A and B are shown apart, each in its own frame.
Chain A
Amino acid sequence: DAGVIQSPRHEVTEMGQEVTLRCKPISGHNSLFWYRQTMMRGLELLIYFNNNVPIDDSGMPEDRFSAKMPNASFSTLKIQPSEPRDSAVYFCASSLKVQYSYNEQFFGPGTRLTVL
């Protein structure tokens, strides 16, 4: 299995530009998570999807951030407009949610975003 795939691995953009991060979860997994990691705040959950439906987006910082999951094999995290404080590593993770059992999350390699 290829694991969770994220693209791009690195993104450098200028303030005000739109940024789209992409994620392909592990085939067969039904839960998908977007996290953000910075030195100051550590690793934070932004949003969680189950069966392509957003379940909890309470971690999304503000309206500039949006996430979609049009099908079971693809998700995007969009930032529009981007700001320097959005610079971070963004991780996507997936898991197979089965009731009454723990389902480990498998993380992708991350996208390092730099907003100038």
Chain B
Amino acid sequence: DAKTTQPTSMDCAEGRAANLPCNHSTISGNEYVYWYRQIHSQGPQYIIHGLKNNETNEMASLIITEDRKSSTLILPHATLRDTAVYYCIVDRGGSNYKLTFGKGTLLTVNP
């Protein structure tokens, strides 16, 4: 039973913002939203995570709706190197070793 739903693929023009949606309607109060990405032939890479407040770091911004049933990862100025599979993962904090990766969204950044 998947905890998250993501589009299979998305396209974005280089230099534009990429907005990747994720639905997690069954999220529990103690569960966080994590985002990882996997560039072709590489291991996954952590991007950002959040509980209920919006978060921003040097890579991206995470916008979580007030009811926490969905979120959006924003890459403000996408580059060709951002082409990757993006995974939205919902899991509890603390001993959060159980990262369960779904199929993710293949983001293709076009020149």
Contact in complex: B43, A107 (CB < 8 Å): yes
Contact in complex: B97, A33 (CB < 8 Å): yes
Given A42-B103, A102-B32, decide whether A109 and B97 contact each other with a Cβ distance below 8 A: no
Contact in complex: B97, A31 (CB < 8 Å): yes
Contact in complex: B94, A100 (CB < 8 Å): yes
Given A99-B94, A100-B94, decide whether A42 and B43 contact each other with a Cβ distance below 8 A: no
In the bound complex, what is the Cα–Cα distance between A109 and B98 (angstroms)? 20
Give the interface residue-count category, chain A: 20 to 34
Specify which chain B residues have a CB less than 8 angstroms from the CB of A91 in the assembled complex. 43-44
- Residue A25 is within 8 A (CB to CB) of chain B in the complex: no
- Residue A55 is within 8 A (CB to CB) of chain B in the complex: yes
- Residue B45 is within 8 A (CB to CB) of chain A in the complex: yes
Interface residues of A in 19-61 (CB under 8 A from B): 31, 33, 42-45, 48, 50, 55-56
Specify which chain B residues have a CB less than 8 angstroms from the CB of A100 in the assembled complex. 93-94
Contact in complex: A102, B97 (CB < 8 Å): no
Residue of B nearest to A103 (CB): B96
Residue of B nearest to A48 (CB): B97
- Residue A93 is within 8 A (CB to CB) of chain B in the complex: yes
Specify which chain A residues have a CB less than 8 angstroms from the CB of B96 in the assembled complex. 102-103
Q: How far is the CB of B36 from chain A (nearest CB, A)?
A: 8
Contact in complex: A109, B43 (CB < 8 Å): yes
Q: How far is the CB of A99 from chain B (nearest CB, A)?
A: 7
- Counting from the closest, the 10 A-B pairs by CB-CB distance are A107-B43, A104-B46, A43-B101, A48-B97, A91-B43, A107-B44, A110-B43, A108-B43, A102-B49, A42-B101
What are 7 contact pairs spanning A and B, CB under 8 A? A31-B97, A43-B87, A91-B43, A100-B94, A102-B32, A102-B34, A110-B42
